[in-house]
């Protein structure tokens, strides 16, 4: 049993790449021969990666993309599910079971999703819960849960915050027979910008570098305020944002930013 688990860990490490370059982390879904489909073995690794993104003070922004130029991720590997008869280990609440997306894993640092091809099913986790979504013209979005007898109930409810209700329902209920192209996803706001395939990662990295140059603490608290606003009414959201603003007044970056601006020099930000 131990040997089997060691083999799974080794496989997941090669199938889910994690690279760091300065203040930017890059996560690559690396199963192009299987459409970058996700397996249960990859779930533990993505959880560990997201935890490292949040806990490593050197990392300020993360990018997630797929290997190759055909697929971002085709979702859960149905062959593996058919063999194992399950997707996760147990049957507890979402926050104890599912850690695919940065939101699930409580990542407060900015995450850019660079969609380089077909994104389907569970691959939509990363799109729905990213902070910024970029795509190439080859990207398309579809949900195939109902085609294989599964409920589209997690990624799909998250998509309902980013897309018109009818668009989410069309994608969910029509399954593989409806594929939303990148241009339509951009028109509806699911995608923030479309870049040619050979410019996609370069653009994501440039955007990440711009974000990474800002105060890490201010960036994280700003992200918290904005995401929290989706969970509550406007009055509560405004109060929560105001509380984060006041909390930040005691942070060293609050003083360093104006001083650096006045002295016409790059700011020396605190780690968090």
Domain boundaries, the chain: 2-212, 216-263
What is d(CA 155, CA 22) in angstroms, rounded to the nearest whole number? 31
What is d(CA 261, CA 256) in angstroms, rounded to the nearest whole number? 9
Tens of pLDDT, residue by residue over 23-76, are 999 999 999 999 999 998 899 999 999 999 999 999 999 999 999 999 999 998
Q: Which residues contact 150 (CB under 8 A, 6 or more apart)?
A: none
Give residue 89's pLDDT: 52
Tokens of 23: 């203040």
Tokens of 214: 């800002």
Tokens of 104: 């699930």
What is d(CA 82, CA 64) in angstroms, rounded to the nearest whole number? 27
Tokens of 208: 């990440």
Q: Is 26 helix (H, G, I), strand (E, B) or coil?
A: strand
Classify the C-alpha dihedral 112-34-40-12 as positive or negative: negative
Q: Which residues contact 68 (CB under 8 A, 6 or more apart)?
A: 32, 36, 116, 117
Tokens of 5: 């688990």
Residue 9 has pLDDT above 90, yes or no: no
Give residue 190's pLDDT: 98
Q: Which residues contact 60 (CB under 8 A, 6 or more apart)?
A: 23, 24, 109, 110, 211, 212, 216, 219
- Residue pair 116/136 in contact (Cβ under 8 Å)? The answer is yes
Helices (H), 37-195: 40-55, 78-84, 94-97, 124-128, 155-159, 165-174, 182-188
Which has the higher per-residue pLDDT, 271 or 212? 212
Paired with 119 in beta bridges are: 73, 141
Q: Which residue has the tokens 């407060």?
A: 108
Residue 6 has pLDDT above 80, yes or no: no
CATH node for 2-212 = 3.90.226.10
Tens of pLDDT, residue by residue over 186-236, are 999 999 999 999 999 999 999 999 999 999 999 999 999 999 998 888 888
Which has the higher per-residue pLDDT, 161 or 12? 161
What is d(CA 168, CA 166) in angstroms, rounded to the nearest whole number? 5
Q: For the residues 19-23, what does the mean pLDDT come to?
A: 97
Strand 111-115 and strand 24-29: pairing? unpaired
Tens of pLDDT, residue by residue over 66-118, are 999 999 999 988 887 666 655 555 567 777 788 899 999 999 999 999 999 99
What is d(CA 63, CA 72) in angstroms, rounded to the nearest whole number? 13
Tell me 48's DSSP state. Answer: H
Give residue 92's pLDDT: 73
- Residue pair 248/193 in contact (Cβ under 8 Å)? The answer is no
């Amino acid at each position: 049993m131990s040997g089997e688990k060691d083999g799974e860990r080794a496989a997941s490490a090669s199938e889910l790449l994690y690279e760091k370059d300065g203040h930017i982390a890059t996560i690559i879904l690396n199963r192009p021969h299987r459409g970058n489909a996700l397996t249960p073995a990859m779930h533990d690794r993505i959880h560990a990666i997201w935890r490292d993104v949040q806990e490593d003070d050197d990392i300020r922004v993360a990018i997630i993309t797929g290997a190759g130029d055909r697929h971002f991720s085709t979702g859960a590997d149905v062959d593996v599910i058919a063999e194992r008869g399950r997707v996760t280990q147990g049957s507890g609440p979402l926050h104890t079971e599912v850690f695919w997306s940065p939101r699930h894993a409580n990542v407060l640092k900015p995450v850019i999703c660079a969609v380089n091809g077909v994104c389907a099913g569970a691959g939509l986790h990363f799109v729905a819960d990213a902070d910024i979504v970029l795509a190439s013209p080859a990207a398309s979005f579809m949900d195939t849960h109902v085609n294989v007898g599964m409920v589209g109930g997690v990624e799909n409810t998250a998509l309902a915050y980013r897309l018109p209700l009818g668009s989410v329902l069309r994608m969910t209920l029509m399954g593989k027979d409806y594929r939303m192209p990148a241009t339509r996803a951009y028109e509806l706001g699911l995608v923030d910008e479309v870049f040619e395939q050979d410019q996609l990662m370069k653009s994501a990295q440039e955007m990440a570098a711009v974000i990474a140059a800002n105060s890490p603490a201010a960036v994280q608290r700003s992200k918290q305020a904005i995401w929290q606003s989706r969970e509550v009414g406007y009055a509560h959201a405004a109060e929560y944002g105001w509380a984060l603003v006041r909390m930040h007044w005691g942070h060293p970056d609050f003083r360093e930013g104006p001083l650096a601006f006045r002295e016409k020099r790059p700011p020396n930000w605190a780690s968090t």
